[in-house]
Amino acid sequence: MARAFLVVMDSVGIGGAPDADRFYNGDLPDLGANTLAHIAQACAEGRAEDGRSGPLHLPNLERLGLGSAMRLASAVPFPGLTAEPEGLWGCAAEISPGKDTPSGHWELAGLPVPWNWHFFPDETPAFPADLSAFVAEAAGAPGILGDCHASGTDIIARYGAEHMKTGAPICYTSADSVFQIAAHEESFGLNRLLDLCQAVAPRLHAMKVGRVIARPFVGTPESGFTRTTNRRDFAITPPAKLLTNWVQDAGQKVHAIGKIGDIFTMSGIDTLKKGPDAELMQHLAEAVETAEEGSLTFANFVEFDSLYGHRRDISGYARALEWFDHEIGKILPRLRVGDILVLTADHGNDPSWPGTDHTREQVPVLVAAPGQTPGQAPGAGSLGARAFADVGVSVAQHLGVASSGPGRSFL
């Protein structure tokens, strides 16, 4: 029986979304945004030299067809990535009305989002007074701090000391459909923060706010504050069955790595491994060795997005891409005959673009399928321009399980 590994390179977009004019960073539409092409340009021009140097070097992704997928998706020019593909490659566009993490992942898993998310206005205060009062009461605090759009690192620097003094949670949002609560792991308590987020999540979900995010941090006003890896997302449960459920309902195992458990509220998931991306890569390598026949391993590597895209750090993003390419290159030869490994993304986050938000882009779809038999994916070739939902349906077909939804298999 076959196995499948679906790996999301969070925010690694390749430009060219047909509806990019409808999505904005501030007052600027996302037309022309292209995460990978603009990183490649910056590297070739010597503008990404912090911790790395020279042209963007992604030989393993290039052999799978990354450059070909980029040229299919967008006319934005970029240097390099010209090797003849050895994998199955294409690009995919999203139809869900958001450029956020749940929208991208749900649709990749076969379920486009059937509603419009609620977004908070970019003004201060950002939240309705009754919502702020509800959160403060749930926290047992005199009020909330923040109440605005903000960068997570900036807002804990601004309010961390006052939070430690008063116990008021720091609440903020972004251009995504999110309500984020930051609190000190020691003075406020990590478990208390998680309990608070869980308590207020149903009210936010009823408003169609996609996620309540716990953002714990440590440190002191004197030494500065640092966010920890104990973040947790409390997302709306998908309103219908999707890839993880299809596989689990067929009696086959689903293993989640990274944010997948949070994004899908553990729906259809048997096991979960979390940690920073370096640990997640180890978990993925272990899954390639140990995952059962018929199983799905679904992984998200978030640091492209969280550490470098939102912070508009081109060098850091390039370093992360080159690290990922090197590490995935170790895993590809260990795939078994009959396995399929699909590399894709959920949206863009162009680090050269104004603002700090995601960018509406198409994403690569790169497939490694060693030793496939007739009727399955060929060793190399173009998938063409696809829909996000095609990814989930294709993985389901590979695993021999029934699927639903609008996707069409490319296998």
184 annotated as a binding-site residue: no
Backbone angles phi, psi at 343, to 5 degrees: -105, 130
State the pLDDT at residue 377.
Answer: 45
Check residue 287 and give its pLDDT.
98
Q: Is there a domain that residue 410 lies in?
A: no
* 118 marked as part of a ligand binding site: no
Instruction: Flag whether 119 is in a domain.
Output: no
Q: Is the pLDDT of residue 378 over 80?
A: no
- Where does the pLDDT of residue 7 fall: very low under 50, low under 70, confident under 90, or very high at 90 and above? very high
pLDDT digits (tens, 9 = 90+) for 255-296: 999 999 999 999 999 999 999 999 999 999 999 999 999 999
Is residue 206 in some structural domain?
Answer: yes
Do 261 and 386 lie in one domain? The reply is yes
**Do residues 230 and 330 share a domain?**
no
Task: Give the mean pLDDT of 210-239.
Answer: 94
Say if residue 28 is in the same domain as residue 133.
Answer: no
Domain assignment of residue 175, yes or no:
yes
Q: Does 27 carry a binding-site annotation? A: no
Q: Domain containing 93 — which CATH number?
A: 3.40.720.10
Give yes or no: residues 215 and 355 share one domain: no
Mean pLDDT across the chain: 95
Same structural domain, 252 and 352? yes
For residues 89-109, average pLDDT: 95
Q: Tell whether 405 is covered by a domain.
A: no
What's the pLDDT band for 370 if we cut at 50, 70, 90? confident
Band (pLDDT 50/70/90 cuts) for residue 375 is very low
What digits encode the pLDDT tens for the residues 23-55? 999 889 999 999 999 999 999 999 999 999 999
- The CATH number given to whatever domain includes residue 151 is 3.30.70.1250
How confident is the model over 55-64, as pLDDT tens digits?
999 999 999 9
310 among annotated binding-site residues = yes
**Percent of the residues in the chain that have a pLDDT greater than 70, as a whole number:** 98
Which of 176, 206, 235 represents a domain boundary (last residue)? 235
| pLDDT at res. 372 | 53
**Is a pLDDT exceeding 50 seen at residue 376?**
no
What is the pLDDT confidence band of residue 1, given thresholds at 50, 70 and 90?
Answer: confident
Identify the domain boundary among 204, 235, 266.
Answer: 235
**Is 30 annotated as a binding-site member?**
no
Name the least confident of 2-16, 268-282, 295-309, 375-389.
375-389
Same domain, 330 and 395: yes
Say if residue 256 is in the same domain as residue 383. Answer: yes
What confidence score (pLDDT) does residue 371 get?
65
Same domain, residue pair 260 and 368: yes
Do 278 and 385 sit in the same domain of this protein? yes
Whole-structure pTM value:
0.90
- Average of pLDDT values for 156-172? 97
Q: What is the tally of structural domains in the chain?
A: 2
Residue 148 belongs to what domain range?
Answer: 129-235
Q: Among 235, 264, 298, which residue terminates a domain?
A: 235
Determine whether the annotation assigns residue 50 to a binding site: no
The stretch 184-194 carries a mean pLDDT of: 97
pLDDT band per the 50, 70, 90 thresholds, residue 151? confident
- Answer yes or no: do 262 and 388 share one domain: yes
Residue 122 lies in a domain: no
Does the pLDDT at position 246 exceed 50?
Answer: yes
Do 199 and 271 share a domain, yes or no?
no
281 and 325 part of one domain: yes
Rounded average pLDDT over 194-208: 97
